[in-house]
Amino acid sequence: MANVRVFENGHLVSRSSDYIIYSVEAERIDGAVKEFGPSTKFGAIVGGQTSCKAPEIAAFEKHLPNDVDIVSCHSLHGPGVDPKGQPLVLIKHRASETNFHKVERMFSCLGSTHVYLTAVEHDRITADTQAVTHAAFLSMGAAWMANQQFPWEISRYVGGIENVKINVMMRIYSNKWHVYAGLAILNPSAQEQIRQYAASVTDLFKLMLGGHKEEFSRRIKEAGTKVFKRNSGEHLLLEDDVLDRFSLGKKSPERVKNSHLSLLAMVDCWSKLGIVPYDHIICSTPLFRLWLGITEYLFRKPDLLDEAIETALLDNSFRADDLEFTFAARDWSNCVSLGYMDGYRDRFERIQQYFAPRFSEATKLGNEMIRTIMERVRERND
């Protein structure tokens, strides 16, 4: 293209640019800014779009000249999602009003909804909305692989809530490992959430094994009341007509009961951490809205919730799956707590390879599902 000039290295880019965005993995941003940051043009604006701002801002403060403004950003959606109407976080860390408005105007072409946060607020909210959501779906994939299952080939995993679980799990594993590793390992707030989720999964599974019906049921319902009481009168984010539409497999004529341990543990986790997921809906990703939607669907339908509790305690059909899910949730939590990037990558890519043959179909279906559900969310908000 005639109006694009390619430079030999980042130093020449930094010397000539009025606005520079570091688009590198969170664990590598310190090295990149250390190398090229000192060459930044006088009075320029510098930002990054990593999903974890703590290491990004630390690198900017450490390596950039004091005469450079810092305005960071983060689009809260993946590359396959239309940015129009999606949240775009803008962080005015160190900048004049003139330069900040310049950044706002540049990003206005995306049609996103601008959300203004500090770096600390951003990391706390993304931990609340993304870290545990990713951990749940990562654990599903690990459990299905451990059992040598392709869930869309098993009738009990087709239809309704299961469609969302499978499609989102496939969507996550079709992406790059570092997107999720950086957010989980480098975000100071994320480790606590992931650790609590693993603890909730383990505690509930032990109650299931012991047949502690009253304690299990009371714990689940108290958590549900705490998390969902404020929105009990509103319409559900997801309804049956949407949930049943997007399936990778052939639905069984009769709905199969499921313990839904992953969803029960999520609400228990939110309750233990004092998280109200609706507080962050303006900063939520499409995947989080899907996860919240199916969780809300389960907990705000009393008959379905009672069925899940009964299935968890009395039906052994999902017991092997729930066992592997518990192992997987604990393994991911341990990996994150140790800060083990190589281990995270190895585990992620082995599971990714297992599911890879169906990524193309799943991505197409997942994009369509997200578009449909986002339209429903906008209609509900209107």
Of the two residues 242 and 373, the one the predictor is more confident about is 373
Nearest one of 157, 181, 186 to 317, comparing CA atoms: 157
| Residues 337-365 pLDDT 10s | 998 899 999 999 999 999 998 888 777 77
Residue 378, pLDDT above cutoff 70: no
| Residues 207-243 pLDDT 10s | 999 999 999 999 999 999 999 876 555 566 666 555 6
Residue 306, pLDDT above cutoff 70: yes
- Give the integer Cα–Cα distance in Å for 22 and 70: 11
pLDDT at 232: 54
Residue 127, pLDDT above cutoff 90: no
- Give the integer Cα–Cα distance in Å for 40 and 37: 5
pLDDT at 382: 55
pLDDT at 25: 86
pLDDT at 235: 62
- Give the integer Cα–Cα distance in Å for 294 and 287: 11
How does the average pLDDT of the chain come out, rounded?
Answer: 87
pLDDT band at 287 (very low <50, low <70, confident <90, very high): confident
Q: Determine if residue 298 is left, alpha or beta; phi over 0 gives left, psi from -120 to 50 gives alpha, anything else beta.
A: alpha
| Residues 51-109 pLDDT 10s | 889 999 999 999 999 999 999 999 988 777 788 888 899 999 999 999 999 999 999 99
| Residues 11-67 pLDDT 10s | 999 999 999 999 988 889 999 999 999 999 999 999 998 888 999 999 999 999 999
Which residues touch 185 (CB under 8 Å, ≥6 apart)?
27, 191, 336, 339, 340, 341, 344
Residue 142, pLDDT above cutoff 80: yes
- Give the integer Cα–Cα distance in Å for 168 and 150: 14
- What's the CATH superfamily of 10-117? NAD(P)-binding Rossmann-like Domain (3.40.50.720)
Please provide the distance, in angstroms rounded to a whole number, between the alpha carbons at the two ends of the chain. 42
Q: What three-state secondary structure class fits 43?
A: coil
User: Would you mind telling me the total number of residues written for the chain in this entry?
Assistant: 382
Domain locations along the chain: 10-117, 121-381
pTM confidence score: 0.83
